[in-house]
Structure 1
Amino acid sequence: MKKLRFKLYKPVAIITLAAGILGLNACTKNFEQYNTDNTGLTEGELKPDFNNIGGFFPQIQSSIYFNFNNTTADFQLQQNLMGDVYSGYMMPPNNFRGNINNMTYSLVDGWNASAFNLAYNNVMAPIYEIKRRGAQTIAPEFWAIALILKVEAMHRVTDIYGPIPYSSYGTGGTTSAYDSQQDVYTRFFKELDTAVTTLNDYVTAHPGISLFSKFDMLYGGDYKQWVKFANSLRLRLAIRISGVSPAKAQAEAEKALNPTSGGVMEIPKDNANVSGFGLKNPLFTIVTSWTDNAMNASMESFLVGYKDPRLPKYFDHATAYPGTYKGIRIGSLVTAKPDYNGYSVPAYVETKTFKATTPLQLMTAAEVWFLRAEAALNGWSNAGGTPGELYEKGMRASFTQWDVDLAAVNNYVVDNAAKPIDYVDPRNAANNHAAMTSTTVKWDDAADPKTKLERIITQKWIAIYPEGQEAWSEFRRTGYPKLFPVVNNYSNNTINTDIQIRRIPFPSTEYTSNKAEVLKAIQLLGPGAVDNGGQRLWWDIPH
């Protein structure tokens, strides 16, 4: 079995512990086997100030939107060549594998296993070790944060594949039982219950005290901010299941928004951003050093069409077409570099939005305002305003986050004329496509519910850039925003071009080492389910 190396951080020294607890091919094997710490320090010597537990958190936090140890290639596979593309945010100007790749729906197993393996190896494994070391008893506030991070990381995994090993994780043995996505979500909500209750109780009993601050890459040890993150995450997950389980969704959303719960994100200061410990933003490397990233045609259609003032914060002008912003449509038969390198890329030259030190964004206050707008649209309690009021607050929070002149947002929110534009590829007319919608920005209380939802989700999509995984999940859930379909579909008829890709198949390594459980997992996807990219997830119901 392949052995893993955890990074255990101390305030002064960095200590590496080798722990053989998880193989790449089966995610719950051999938990009882641990190697000796080659630093010579015992677990007891690391206990002061909970270093023996807290030292695992930098790895966990930097492995969600993966760039642990700044291994940018892992992030590229986990996120950039999957969620970032399928969300309509980005498209690489690189003809990987001769265009027989994820962008043309010829799904590459060696790429798509990354999100599965990285999450179990770099998040679930160290969290299990934290639990083994007694965090629940000796440092319950640390354990509460571990639970929040666990939910944040693993909801991304289940929203990629569907059923995942979760409740049985860490029980040992030679197989890894999968839970249905519904059961996984149920556990998410329970774990957030534990986390929020624990942190609120701790803050009441120990005001102003935080031993977690030196390990915290999000909030500097501010437990009240962690509660806001947990509540906001609960709201996100509640909205996610609103189509398939409306009663449960409403109950969880109202709990998240209950004024006594500790609050949700409301201002950019509340945003969940990961930084510190030498972490670098992988998009910066992918764009500047590798030239493997560019604007997606769908982003061009909406942002240019809406004359969105955030556009220069998001992307640089196309160098091949001065004075314009130009994206690449998903599934284009991109020719070898550097032929498409002159298209717009995430902004690192003109506004220098993306730097090596730019924090990694997990969740924002702007997203939460849009979630609240949808909750209000559903008629749920505690939303805090009308759908239109909350929708506008979402846009204002986004403009503030991106440091855009608020005078610009005053004009933007009342614009009832600007619409998404047609896409024209100056290199290849075969990639051209008419705009997918004529929806405008200005809220209209008289509009039908579908139009209202389209406005909310479209503006949320713009606001949560560059977090493509979440944007892809919301597109699948709602059908919004209306993204350009793939130009060339090489899925062998397993993915409908118009419906677009719905999930990623289970890794082939799981078939090799855990076949019986994977076959059961496919059945958990639903009656007659097949393990391909066209199969819908539990919460992904036709709209």
Structure 2
Amino acid sequence: MNTIKIVKSCVVLLIATMTTISCSDYLDVNTNPNNPAESTPGLTLPAAQRNLTALNAQQMTYLGQYLAYNWATPSNWSANQEFYRYTINSNFYGNIFESSYATIFRDLTYVQNYNDASGAVNYDAYKAIAVTLKGFQYQYLVDLYGDVPYTEANLRSANITPKYDDAQTIYKAVIAELTTAASTALSLPTNAENPGSKDIMNGGDMKRWARFANTIKLRMLVRLSNTNQDTYIKAQIASINANGAGYIQADISTNPGYSDNASKQNPFYGYFRNVTTNTQTDRGDFTVATDYVLNYLTTTNDPRLNRLYAPAETGGAFKGAPQITTLPGTGFTSKNLSKVGPGLITTVDANQVVMSMPEALLLQAEAIQRGYIAGGEAAAKAKYEEAIVASFTRLGVANPAVAAATYYSQDIANVNWGSSANKIQAIITQKWVALNGTSSIELWIEKTRTGFPANLPQPVEGGGTRPVRLLYPGSEIARNALNVPAQTATTPFTANPFWK
């Protein structure tokens, strides 16, 4: 993993950003982001990056882990029952929608639209970064909600009730924006200001930003594989090839200077560990492995098991629980079950991954296998195995290359490439393992798209149908009622995303 060292001044700038730019949504008519009194792209960009990273590392990953049946709750806690009952309503995880518009898009739009009045400084590098990150988050909003505000969004007082745009139209518009962002990042004018340490994700390395834009775009194109648009997909991949940057070559991660202080910890770490004492938070105690995921990792002889999960405090065995609201107390309390492991909860100041190499490599493997990228099955196999090595490496498995080769050489379907009759199933199953605890919202979305992993359990109390999307939050319904698309209690289970 490439580590970007952040100087103290960047942390100070970030703190200043968080105090001068207040939280609001697109109904806040008192703030004009195009003419702010106290901000610049250098102050606003790290705040947007920090907020996007925290939302994805915490709420979106936690949601994905439960809907992908990786995590459960012990018998001595009553938390998370909405996951087992599939209680998807307008109060469920509304912060994903709210935070995206209220803070992330607000700040990124400001950066995107900023111009130096004197004309002496060019901010195209900042703009390319802002467009890339907006594309990253818009993709998720479409995947999770369908139609969302896009063309009229982020205009603040100019339009406080934006219309909702068609999901597929947004997808293609974002893909076009990402194409432009990558091109801009690679061809900046000589007077363009480089963000440097103010960019807390890539340290101002614009080739890394071009690769990130290309990789987000690839994810979206692969998502379209069921829509009979192969000609469009191949043309868009040709445009990626044309810019010459390729795809990410290291994890894309964020670090504004995480430290062992309140609200400054690595966000994933801070979800599970308290400040200073490093003792478990309540969430750390009530988040445990499912019996299914531990059984899968055990039966496939996967050494990532003891990196993804920790042995139980009582007895030292790896033990999980089913996703059910009422468990027997004996043997199923938090001390009896495996919790989130040391390969995921690393250090308080660790970089927070936004997009990992295992995901990027598995996306390429799928694109090759589907014929979107040249190379044939041999090339797809190579990317698949490279992704497994990358997963072993980032989780801290000892001797990762050797351990990974031993693992994927077993004659087991969805582990060994040659033993897998359905190569797409193998790729998505390995993604389910590799993204356990990292960008895990992908696991739920990929299950919806492909149906894999096959035979993934779901709670009996959930009614037998895994949800395929979220509902618009109640706050949005209240303030933009004339534009919010109609939705009912069955919408989360029946209204498949357009790419399904």
For residue 292 of structure 1, the aligned residue among 286, 295, 302 is 286
Return the alpha-carbon distance in structure 2 between the equivalents of residues 21 and 63 of structure 1.
11
**1:12-58 superposed Cα distances (whole Å, 9 cap, x missing partner):** 972555557843xxx45527557998xxxx54xx6xxxxx1121122
Cα deviation, residue 229, structure 1: 0.9
**1:123-177 superposed Cα distances (whole Å, 9 cap, x missing partner):** 1111222244327983011000001111112222222111111121133334121
- Give 1:421's aligned residue: none
Does the CA-based 8 Å contact 2:215-2:360 persist in structure 1?
yes
Residue 122 of structure 1: SS of its match in structure 2?
A: helix
Does the CA-based 8 Å contact 2:92-2:473 persist in structure 1?
no
Cα deviation, residue 416, structure 1: 0.8
**1:366-396 superposed Cα distances (whole Å, 9 cap, x missing partner):** 2122111111211223458532222112212
Residues 1:532 and 2:491 are matched in the alignment: yes
- One-letter amino acid matched to 1:305: T
Residue 148 of structure 1: SS of its match in structure 2?
A: helix
Change (3 A) 1:508 1:335: farther
Return the alpha-carbon distance in structure 2 between the equivalents of residues 263 and 540 of structure 1.
25
For residue 410 of structure 1, the aligned residue among 400, 405, 414 is 405
Residues 1:145 and 2:126 are matched in the alignment: no
- One-letter amino acid matched to 1:277: G
For residue 216 of structure 2, the aligned residue among 219, 222, 233 is 233
Cα RMSD of the aligned pairs, angstroms, is: 3.3
- One-letter amino acid matched to 1:123: I
Does the CA-based 8 Å contact 1:89-1:468 persist in structure 2?
no
- One-letter amino acid matched to 1:456: I
- Give 2:237's aligned residue: 253
Identical residues among aligned pairs (%): 22
Change (3 A) 1:518 1:477: same
**1:57-93 superposed Cα distances (whole Å, 9 cap, x missing partner):** 22211222426xxxxxx975x3255222112332343
Does the CA-based 8 Å contact 2:186-2:210 persist in structure 1?
yes
Return the alpha-carbon distance in structure 2 between the equivalents of residues 236 and 17 of structure 1.
35
Change (3 A) 1:483 1:311: same
Residue 149 of structure 1: SS of its match in structure 2?
A: helix
**1:327-359 superposed Cα distances (whole Å, 9 cap, x missing partner):** 2323443579992343111224xx685222232
- Give 1:508's aligned residue: 474
For residue 104 of structure 1, the aligned residue among 85, 89, 100 is 85
Residue 220 of structure 2: SS of its match in structure 1?
A: helix
TM-score by length of 2: 0.83
- Give 2:445's aligned residue: 473
- Give 2:418's aligned residue: 444
Cα deviation, residue 280, structure 1: 2.0
Residues 1:394 and 2:387 are matched in the alignment: yes
TM-score by length of 1: 0.77
**1:421-461 superposed Cα distances (whole Å, 9 cap, x missing partner):** xxxxxxxxxxxxxxxxxx3411128x54xx21111111122
Q: Which has the larger displacement, 54-63 or 245-254?
A: 245-254
- One-letter amino acid matched to 2:255: S
- Give 1:177's aligned residue: 163
Does the CA-based 8 Å contact 1:91-1:328 persist in structure 2?
yes
For residue 274 of structure 1, the aligned residue among 242, 254, 257 is 254
Change (3 A) 1:379 1:213: same
User: What residue ranges of structure 2 are gaps of 5+ in the alignment?
Assistant: 1-9, 259-263, 273-279
* Paired residues, number: 466
Change (3 A) 1:94 1:121: farther
Residue 457 of structure 1: SS of its match in structure 2?
A: helix
Return the alpha-carbon distance in structure 2 between the equivalents of residues 355 and 21 of structure 1.
28
Cα deviation, residue 232, structure 1: 0.9
Return the alpha-carbon distance in structure 2 between the equivalents of residues 99 and 366 of structure 1.
29
- One-letter amino acid matched to 2:477: Y
Return the alpha-carbon distance in structure 2 between the equivalents of residues 135 and 153 of structure 1.
26
Return the alpha-carbon distance in structure 1 between the equivalents of residues 76 and 144 of structure 2.
24
- Give 2:424's aligned residue: 453
Return the alpha-carbon distance in structure 2 between the equivalents of residues 164 and 456 of structure 1.
30
Does the CA-based 8 Å contact 1:485-1:500 persist in structure 2?
no
Residues 1:64 and 2:47 are matched in the alignment: no
For residue 463 of structure 1, the aligned residue among 413, 424, 434 is 434
Does the CA-based 8 Å contact 1:101-1:108 persist in structure 2?
no
Does the CA-based 8 Å contact 2:428-2:453 persist in structure 1?
yes
- Give 2:183's aligned residue: 197
Residue 425 of structure 2: SS of its match in structure 1?
A: helix
Q: Equivalent residues in 2 for 1:128-143 (5 A)?
A: 128-134=109-115, 138-143=122-127
Return the alpha-carbon distance in structure 2 between the equivalents of residues 75 and 13 of structure 1.
20
- Give 1:4's aligned residue: none
Cα deviation, residue 103, structure 1: 2.9
- Give 1:430's aligned residue: none
Residues 1:330 and 2:330 are matched in the alignment: no
- One-letter amino acid matched to 2:295: S
Return the alpha-carbon distance in structure 1 between the equivalents of residues 195 and 34 of structure 2.
26
- Give 2:67's aligned residue: 86
- One-letter amino acid matched to 2:216: L
Return the alpha-carbon distance in structure 2 between the equivalents of residues 230 and 86 of structure 1.
27
Does the CA-based 8 Å contact 1:119-1:153 persist in structure 2?
yes
Change (3 A) 1:276 1:213: same
Change (3 A) 1:28 1:155: farther
Change (3 A) 1:361 1:19: closer
Change (3 A) 1:373 1:81: closer
Residue 484 of structure 2: SS of its match in structure 1?
A: helix
- One-letter amino acid matched to 2:252: A
Change (3 A) 1:397 1:317: same
Residue 253 of structure 2: SS of its match in structure 1?
A: strand
Return the alpha-carbon distance in structure 2 between the equivalents of residues 393 and 276 of structure 1.
30
Return the alpha-carbon distance in structure 2 between the equivalents of residues 65 and 96 of structure 1.
28
Return the alpha-carbon distance in structure 2 between the equivalents of residues 178 and 97 of structure 1.
37
